[in-house]
Structure 1
């Protein structure tokens, strides 16, 4: 039986594909004030602006390509039962060939009903238009978890982390909750590989191997180690 490898990925995973999916320190995201484009209040105040913002992000995602780190994770499925939990809203893990992915914060290539968030629809092309409605007659919005909204998949992700034989953290600062708390569910004895140019504070955890490199360089190194050691 294959060991279960659980991987939590953040913005650093997609950065080398040219996607800036994270909030800058000054509260701007691609030149926009986060609170004006990524909250339920923003959607109700100015849905046209919010829709425009995510249409631009979607176009950026569709133009991007998976990088070698995405492909390394997909290849590890030959040796491990790989579960990816991602904070990213892009579809690069899917396009690289990974098959078991939990999107904590939604996925930008889908729309959801403004009335019932369980009603999801794939978006054709890169634009979601005002006036496009769900089956309940409500406006479609991006399938993205905004600041101030619950994270529907967090319990699923926590349960997956609790079953990890090997755990990997790639390209995340562990600053955004509740995702940052997922490492607390990983069994104490499980090896934990942390890959990031700036390693987050993980001193309270046991069996941690720190790889202070970018996602592409670090994942190549760790993938080779895992294949050798099992």
Structure 2
């Protein structure tokens, strides 16, 4: 199999019950994102930020991988396939996927805002939790907030420069830098495919529209039969 880079977004996990920014009545709408998803918000009220992410972590724990996660997990066993996700949940890993690049971090990990130490997050984080490395009461979720640089961008861009196929699954294609991945892949000569509930408006060679739990298993079956 030639090198394949798969980017997934919130639409991959939506059918597992994990909400997206656009959900009308979801968890996201109960909070001002400038207060709970920015470094400035954390500095103002760390307890509020941790309350929000504790709720997200509980939602994640209650969710289960769906057919799309399981199909991508099977595909990830191929040596030339790399899964990159904007999602901070662990559903791909729980489905059996390996080597997933979490460009926006992971809810299941904690980060010290003071010294940069990382560790497995407890189910509930509190503002007075002390960092085991430096002792500072500055522990936060190891996720990328608005205004911060996504993780492992150099690695992702290198993979895109070598890809023969770039596939975008369940993402709006409007948030950079991920929105630019299709252009990087096309410039490198890769074929590009979008699997989404609705067309993102980006320039893909092919778009397939429908639920991830239907589109992704069918596409993976095609790939594995080639």
> How many positions carry a matched residue from both structures?
223
Residues in 1 aligned to 2:209 and 2:113: alpha-carbon distance in whole angstroms: 41
Contact 2:107 2:141 in 1 (8 A): yes
Determine helix, strand or coil for the equivalent of 1:149. Answer: coil
Question: Residue 56 of structure 1: CA displacement?
Answer: 0.5
Shift >6 Å, 4+ stretches: none
Moved more, 41-50 or 70-79: 70-79
* Alignment correspondent of 1:172: 171
Residues in 1 aligned to 2:69 and 2:177: alpha-carbon distance in whole angstroms: 23
Change (3 A) 1:22 1:80: farther
Question: Residue 175 of structure 1: CA displacement?
Answer: 1.1
Question: What is the CA deviation profile of residues 65-101 of structure 1, one whole-angstrom value per residue up to 9, with x for unaligned ones?
Answer: 1111010011123555221111111011111111111
* Alignment correspondent of 1:192: 192
Aligned runs of 1:72-111 on 2, under 5 Å? Answer: 72-79=71-78, 81-111=80-110
Residues in 2 aligned to 1:42 and 1:123: alpha-carbon distance in whole angstroms: 20
Question: Residue 30 of structure 1: CA displacement?
Answer: 4.0
Residues in 1 aligned to 2:41 and 2:85: alpha-carbon distance in whole angstroms: 24
Aligned runs of 1:8-23 on 2, under 5 Å? Answer: 8-22=7-21
Residues in 2 aligned to 1:183 and 1:25: alpha-carbon distance in whole angstroms: 28
Q: CA RMSD in A?
A: 2.1
Aligned runs of 1:6-155 on 2, under 5 Å? Answer: 6-22=5-21, 29-79=28-78, 81-117=80-116, 119-124=117-122, 126-134=123-131, 135-138=133-136, 139-155=138-154
Question: What is the CA deviation profile of residues 102-141 of structure 1, one whole-angstrom value per residue up to 9, with x for unaligned ones?
Answer: 1111100100011133x211023x1112222221122211
TM-score of the two chains, using structure 2 as the length reference: 0.91
Question: What is the CA deviation profile of residues 153-197 of structure 1, one whole-angstrom value per residue up to 9, with x for unaligned ones?
Answer: 222211122221222100001111112112222145322220001
The answer to whether residue 206 in structure 2 is matched with residue 209 in structure 1 is yes
Residues in 2 aligned to 1:121 and 1:53: alpha-carbon distance in whole angstroms: 19
TM-score of the two chains, using structure 1 as the length reference: 0.89
Determine helix, strand or coil for the equivalent of 1:219. Answer: helix
Question: Residue 226 of structure 1: CA displacement?
Answer: 1.5
Contact 2:65 2:94 in 1 (8 A): yes
Contact 2:12 2:170 in 1 (8 A): yes
Residues in 2 aligned to 1:23 and 1:146: alpha-carbon distance in whole angstroms: 17
